[in-house]
Structure 1
Amino acid sequence: MTLKPLAVALCIATLGITGCASKYVAPEEYSGFLKNYMALTEEKSPSGAPVMRWIKPGVDVNQFNSVYVEPSQLYPQPKPTEKIPQSTLQGITTYYDQVLKTQFAKALPLATGPGPGVLVVRPAITAVSASTKGLQPYEVIPIALIAAGVSTATGIRDQDTSIATEAAFLDGSNNEVVAQVVRKGAGAELDNSSQVMTASDAKAVLDGWARDMVKSFETLKGH
């Protein structure tokens, strides 16, 4: 196990004692999907949720007259589990694609690919977890750790579900990154440790993420 997953595993193992969980995604939880994390700062989304975000200084979003939403990725590629099967993982990305297109279509016409005047949205789901209720409500187990078999989903108490995303926003004319965001959220509560997580358990979180992304864009557009 590399140093980064090891650090997160140790954090998970000591939940409730060290209080290492945070509403913000910690650097050791970054997936590597984004090219540069150094400039991310703690911010609040339009809905007031904690996010790690960077927006290119001086960027003029009025240059974009359409938007292309790339198919969302699962990154790193996870190994399905009994608790979180492949159907759930696929359902989450499918729904994320759908809701991003629905929300962004309210602000800009949808494009069929990148190009001049096109804002490219490149999203990824970087963590999905189901952990025993009462530990830490915002702790996220990175997909890489689920693939390695690290899980706190034991016992018969109710389960909290969590999910995290990383997204880059690019200028479709030159592939330059103009904004990045990293955030996580709590999904629907499961009845017990034997209940399988479904994509529906994450829909409210995905809806909120998409709405916030579009509101952030509209705020920049109005400046």
Structure 2
Amino acid sequence: MIRALKMSSLWLLVLSAAGCSSSLISPDEYSGFLKDYSQLKQEKSPSGADVMRWVDPKLNLGKYTSVYIEPSQFYPKPQGTDKIPQSTLQGITVYYDQALKREISKSLPIAASPGPGTLIVRPAITAVTRKTEGLKPYEVIPVALVAAAVSTASGIRDQETTIATEAAFIDADNHKVIAQVVRKGSGQPLESASQVMQPSDVKAVLDGWASDLHQSYLRLKGK
């Protein structure tokens, strides 16, 4: 019993340290969804968030007359749990797709399939490796959506939620990758460790990602 309590306390301590980590994704957290991470550089999104991004310096956005958004996916594919059920995971990808289409359609028509002059958006919710400074990675979450307990002087408070994405942007004419982005964000805090996470807990993050994507498009096209 005493050993179990000690292990529980250590687990909470490690999780609390992870919850205070930077919002910028580090190379050891890359999921493998993108083909090449070597050219990613730290940038600021239009909303001011730290992201890792690469854009082809020869990019000509004027050639694209429509955009095809592939259905977003989890990579690697996770298994639902009692705290993060499959219905929540499905709801997140459905909402992410809706948010991307809503924002991007403000500037380009949404295509039903790739074709000439089409920009392909390939988004994913990705894996995250979490670790504490000075320790080896202690857990690889098969989906970047976790509830991390945070310790305070008065005990245990709200649960923090984290979600991450990687996305590739592809020219449908030649299948070349023209841009990539990697980022993560924090959703609404949960009230307790027993609370089941809902898609609504991270909708604000997904809305922000979609809005930043549209604003980035406008900035690049205006150059």
TM-score of the pair, normalised by structure 1:
0.81
Evaluate the alpha carbon distance shift between residue 176 and residue 43 of structure 1 in structure 2; reply closer, same or farther with a 3 A threshold. same
1:214 maps to what in 2?
A: 214
After TM superposition, list the pairs within 5 Å mapping 1:39-118 onto structure 2: 39-118=39-118
The one-letter amino acid of 2:51's match is: V
How many Å apart are 1:21 and its aligned residue?
2.3
* CA RMSD after TM alignment: 2.8
2:180 maps to what in 1?
A: 180
How many Å apart are 1:219 and its aligned residue?
0.7
Greater Rg by CA: 2
1:84 & 1:56 partners in 2: Cα distance? 37
TM-score of the pair, normalised by structure 2:
0.81
How many Å apart are 1:13 and its aligned residue?
7.4
Is the Cα contact below 8 Å between 1:163 and 1:187 reproduced in 2?
Answer: yes
Evaluate the alpha carbon distance shift between residue 19 and residue 109 of structure 1 in structure 2; reply closer, same or farther with a 3 A threshold. closer
Is the Cα contact below 8 Å between 1:127 and 1:163 reproduced in 2?
Answer: no
1:146 & 1:208 partners in 2: Cα distance? 17
The one-letter amino acid of 2:85's match is: P
2:32 & 2:42 partners in 1: Cα distance? 18
How many Å apart are 1:15 and its aligned residue?
5.7
Is the Cα contact below 8 Å between 1:161 and 1:189 reproduced in 2?
Answer: yes
SS in 2 for 1:157: strand
Deviations 1:124-168 (A, max 9, x none): 011489x9xxxxxxxxx7542789xx9755985310111000000
After TM superposition, list the pairs within 5 Å mapping 1:116-131 onto structure 2: 116-127=116-127
Q: Which moved more, 1:79-88 or 1:19-28?
A: 19-28
1:3 maps to what in 2?
A: none
How many Å apart are 1:191 and its aligned residue?
0.5
Deviations 1:94-139 (A, max 9, x none): 000011011110010111111221010000011489x9xxxxxxxx
1:144 to 142, 145, 149: 142
SS in 1 for 2:214: helix
Is the Cα contact below 8 Å between 1:46 and 1:212 reproduced in 2?
Answer: yes
SS in 2 for 1:158: strand
Is the Cα contact below 8 Å between 1:68 and 1:112 reproduced in 2?
Answer: yes
Is the Cα contact below 8 Å between 1:128 and 1:162 reproduced in 2?
Answer: no
The one-letter amino acid of 1:53's match is: R
1:215 & 1:17 partners in 2: Cα distance? 33
After TM superposition, list the pairs within 5 Å mapping 1:7-18 onto structure 2: 14=14
1:96 & 1:17 partners in 2: Cα distance? 28
In structure 1, list runs of 5 or more residues that go unmatched.
1-11, 132-140
Aligned residue pairs, count = 200
1:28 & 1:105 partners in 2: Cα distance? 34
SS in 2 for 1:51: strand
How many Å apart are 1:212 and its aligned residue?
0.3
SS in 1 for 2:120: strand
The one-letter amino acid of 1:73's match is: Q
